[in-house]
Structure 1
């Protein structure tokens, strides 16, 4: 609501839920500032990074979960729980070594710095693995009798059944990538290449004074619109993912 108020109303009026006079000047000023605060460029950067990251996460997570739930190999469960235990360490512990790795690859100020790390998140793998374990093994056995390989079973039988949980994993990945703040602040210094979260920090210096509060609030509101719409249209899949047999018909 603050982003639709005039600066005079923001600093002088008392608390009001709705603006007295609805204005769009704050958004016009935001969109016209393409030099020091190119917010549309930042939004595009975040959209590209989050979408690419999410697409790759769905592939990596589904393949990994298939291996840990449907295939048999030595020390499978032991390895899985070791990786789960390692994932319990706070992410901040890995910031310095992660940055050194990114720097050695030449990915600083590159979208790859946010797209590649975190593709094999154990939280998503655990979620998808548990969903797969609820699918009867008879599907696999019937397919093998007909000569299907592991890839055919995975791509044509398992993936269609686990669509709801993959959508949930994709939703978690997209919002996590879009809202990530600390990591992009560390790996980006080029204003043109920043995602929206790193850009919002820069905006606090540009708009963060008593004369531009409306523009700062407008920028923050633009940043939350994509994830807000995503949750609005994908919320039904959260309910489906809670049922481990939701992908099984009959």
Structure 2
């Protein structure tokens, strides 16, 4: 009887182990398929940018360049002031990113560190702005910036993005989780409030600031509507708009826009490699901390 029961236990354990392996293998298979669906357009873009123009037109569905060439990049550099537009895009994106880290962190520190009247009401009102569509404010923003004399400048593309409800919320969630004893120790050691922010709150919330910096940079770098509305000079145009203005109704160039998109993806990949997987995951899970 005991032997029979032992055999049954071993069979059940073996069945459970096999079932776990099947479930794990199925999960990996599904994740691989989903990853390929997301990666396929990116690989198609890279492969197409190295294909001759005749292959792009004649074999558009083949993502692999049979005769790799750099003529698309050469043609793009000759047809478009890529250097100037790249510098403009970097200037706007880096400025917005650095200022957003500073001001979002300051506002988040205020909500996390201090107690003041109507704090919950102000924080709720700030979060409610996330529900306002950006298209709803285009016309009032344009009228306001025109009255300021900011048209055809970088100001309308930089200043509105330096503070956002999502960035404040994400950083505040991490700052709230910092033990109060750390702040008290800094105060006993003679550290000012600004010093506490710079030396304690900001370094300990680098996971949230990293993800805010990444999302802010990507949003500004890929912004198309803003530069199209506020910029008119060719010397101030960004790369995102420049590569879309290359075609006209009488001449359609398939190679240059996709090659320009390939160049635009390089800074984002560099930022992703700098921020890293750790900051990205920690930043996305920051909202699960106590609030």
Q: Which residue of 2 aligns with 1:104?
A: 147
CA distance in 2, matches of 1:223, 1:208: 23
Gaps of 5+ in 1: 246-250
CA distance in 2, matches of 1:14, 1:146: 66
Q: Is the 8 A contact 2:104 2:162 kept in 1?
A: yes
Q: Which residue of 2 aligns with 1:172?
A: 215
Q: Which residue of 2 aligns with 1:248?
A: none
Of the three residues 41, 49, 52, the one matched with 1:3 is 49
Largest Rg, 1 or 2: 2
Number of equivalent positions: 240
Of the three residues 162, 169, 173, the one matched with 1:130 is 173
Q: Which residue of 2 aligns with 1:68?
A: 111
Question: More deviation in 143-152 or 87-96?
Answer: 143-152
Q: CA deviation at 1:208?
A: 5.8
Of the three residues 264, 277, 285, the one matched with 1:223 is 264
CA distance in 1, matches of 2:165, 2:100: 11
What is the RMSD of the two structures over their aligned residues, measured on CA atoms?
Answer: 1.9
1:1-250 superposed matches below 5 A: 1-13=47-59, 15-33=61-79, 37-205=80-248, 209=252, 212-236=253-277, 237-242=279-284, 244=286
CA distance in 1, matches of 2:168, 2:152: 28
TM-score by length of 1: 0.89
The structure whose RCO (Cα within 8 Å, separation 6+) is larger is: 1
Q: Is the 8 A contact 2:88 2:238 kept in 1?
A: yes
Q: Is the 8 A contact 1:45 1:193 kept in 2?
A: yes
Question: More deviation in 169-178 or 223-232?
Answer: 223-232
Q: Is the 8 A contact 2:89 2:221 kept in 1?
A: yes
Q: CA deviation at 1:177?
A: 0.6
Query: How far does the alpha carbon of each residue in 1:120-146 deviate from its partner, in whole angstroms, 9 at most, with x for none?
Result: 111000000001111111111222233
Q: Is the 8 A contact 1:208 1:216 kept in 2?
A: no
Q: CA deviation at 1:57?
A: 0.6
Structure 1 pair 191–242 and aligned structure 2 pair: CA distance change class (3 A):
closer
Gaps of 5+ in 2: 1-46
Structure 1 pair 88–129 and aligned structure 2 pair: CA distance change class (3 A):
same
